[in-house]
Structure 1
Amino acid sequence: PLNRAFITNDEIMRGGRLDFSMDNKPNDAAFSEYPVSRVSLDSVAAPEIDGLRVFRDQNVIFMRTLTPRGEIYYTLDGSEPTPASAKYLAPLRIDKTTAIKAFTAVPGGNRSSTVEAYFARRENDWRVISNSGYSLQYTGGGDEGIVDGLRGNKNFASGEWQGYHGRPFEAVIDLQRETEIKSIGGSFLQSARSWIWMPSQIVFEASPDG
């Protein structure tokens, strides 16, 4: 007979007959006999890269990792980082559009996957002085999101799109000064399954005096 409250996997794989002898009294010892099971993973957490996604003059970039003794290696030119790349020691200051890639490594151990963050320097000083009011679910970077130079991807939930519902979208953009314009356009997304649709009509107008 088995004098324990568990069956091993090997015993199950060999097969056999299992008979239970029941008692009318609780056996509290059974719940303390379970063997300890654990999964040991030497996982390394990927770093977090924080900073303003869009900035005007300078941007301060912070990186951190949840892995104890983890060291962060990064590149600023969009290339794949290696253990020979720069090691993060203090916040970084950037003054131009930059694609940062980074990973975490434990000395003598494993490394995390590589993460990427894109920070764009805004080259214009345009102001959105009136707006129709975007959906709080799809802010797309706030009031000036339509002129910050960032384009959304195919994922409507990426946070890069501005969404409008129940009213026509209208915005007045102040260019601050008379500016020669060679072309004008916009980016729009349609995801029919999510009831997100292209605009039915687009009108652009210009005025020198507002």
Structure 2
Amino acid sequence: ANSDNNAPIFYKLDDQGFKKYEQSFVINKPSLLEVYSEKEGKESARITTKFYKIDPDLSIKLETDYANQYNAGGNDALIDGILGAKDFRTGTWQGYNDTDLIATIDLGSLKLVNLVSVNFLQDQRSWIFYPTEVQCFGSKNGKDFVPIANESVKIEAVNPSESIDIKEVSFGPIDKEFRYIKIVAKTVGQLPEWHLGYEHNGRSWLFVDEIRIN
């Protein structure tokens, strides 16, 4: 691709109109930036970039291991503000093979928690199943955890489905102070008998994305 340093550049943030780029600007909230250049009345291809704001106080501890090929960027993938799409190959989902998810988020200090939510992917043809059960616990000291909000969410994960879907599991309203939030998601494990992978002793995948705490 050729670049022309003299071609004017136009940009827009979110739903604002396009503006000519004349000086640097600051992005301090989650935003969608769209940019193109113009030469002799012709527009270049538009480039779109999403910006996410990550809470610097957040940290996460994983008690189970994700698969290296589906790491979504590493240990902090579940708190990086990036939501996964329906295609698991995009690299935004963290994949666990035949193992549960146990993740504990440290908020950095005691904070009022109202809602906890987490996303899961279902793509049964690719051996990716929703969890059978999701639990959420809170703690003030990192040692003594108690169930928060509603009891565990049970999911009919092994019901046959040809669709690719994303399920958001939420816990709330909570309205309590915690420093630590723990999410436990139970994997299907052995594939159900109706699945093509069953005869190969196939084991399910659990694909999880952003844990959001408000």
**TM-score under structure 2 length normalisation:** 0.56
Please identify runs of 4+ aligned residues in structure 1 that moved more than 6 A. Answer: none
Q: Does 1:103 align with 2:36?
A: yes
Q: Deviations over 1:94-115 (max 9, x none)?
A: 332221001233x215323323
| Matched residues, number | 140
**Structure with greater Cα Rg:** 1
Equivalent residue letter for 2:122: Q
Residue of structure 2 in register with 1:25 after alignment: none
Q: Residues 25-64 of structure 1: matches in 2 within 5 Å?
A: none
Residue of structure 2 in register with 1:193 after alignment: 125
Please give the root-mean-square deviation of Cα atoms over the aligned residues, in Å.
2.4
Instruction: For 1:68 and 1:200, locate their aligned partners in 2 and report how far apart those are by CA, in whole Å.
Output: 52
Contact 2:8 2:20 in 1 (8 A): no
Which among 67, 78, 88 is matched to residue 2 of structure 2?
67
Contact 1:78 1:100 in 2 (8 A): no
Instruction: For 2:98 and 2:139, locate their aligned partners in 1 and report how far apart those are by CA, in whole Å.
Output: 27
Q: Which stretches in structure 2 are left out of the alignment for 5+ residues?
A: 143-214
Residue of structure 1 in register with 2:189 after alignment: none
Which among 157, 175, 181 is matched to residue 113 of structure 2?
181
Q: Deviations over 1:5-43 (max 9, x none)?
A: xxxxxxxxxxxxxxxxxxxxxxxxxxxxxxxxxxxxxxx
Instruction: For 1:189 and 1:115, locate their aligned partners in 2 and report how far apart those are by CA, in whole Å.
Output: 28
Instruction: For 2:100 and 2:22, locate their aligned partners in 1 and report how far apart those are by CA, in whole Å.
Output: 47
Instruction: For 1:78 and 1:115, locate their aligned partners in 2 and report how far apart those are by CA, in whole Å.
Output: 15
Instruction: For 2:9 and 2:85, locate their aligned partners in 1 and report how far apart those are by CA, in whole Å.
Output: 28
Equivalent residue letter for 1:129: K
- Per the TM alignment, residue 121 of structure 1 is displaced from its structure 2 partner at its CA by 1.2
Residue of structure 2 in register with 1:19 after alignment: none
Q: Which stretches in structure 1 are left out of the alignment for 5+ residues?
A: 1-65
Residue of structure 1 in register with 2:101 after alignment: 169
- Per the TM alignment, residue 160 of structure 1 is displaced from its structure 2 partner at its CA by 1.7
- Per the TM alignment, residue 80 of structure 1 is displaced from its structure 2 partner at its CA by 5.7
SS of the aligned residue for 1:175 comes to strand
- Per the TM alignment, residue 159 of structure 1 is displaced from its structure 2 partner at its CA by 2.1
Bigger strand fraction: 2
Instruction: For 1:136 and 1:88, locate their aligned partners in 2 and report how far apart those are by CA, in whole Å.
Output: 43
Instruction: For 2:131 and 2:53, locate their aligned partners in 1 and report how far apart those are by CA, in whole Å.
Output: 29
Q: Does 1:135 align with 2:67?
A: yes
Q: Which has the higher contact order (CA 8 A, sep 6+)?
A: 2
Instruction: For 1:89 and 1:131, locate their aligned partners in 2 and report how far apart those are by CA, in whole Å.
Output: 46
Instruction: For 1:72 and 1:203, locate their aligned partners in 2 and report how far apart those are by CA, in whole Å.
Output: 49
**TM-score under structure 1 length normalisation:** 0.57
Residue of structure 1 in register with 2:77 after alignment: 145
Equivalent residue letter for 1:156: F
Equivalent residue letter for 2:64: S
Residue of structure 2 in register with 1:86 after alignment: 20
Contact 1:73 1:88 in 2 (8 A): no
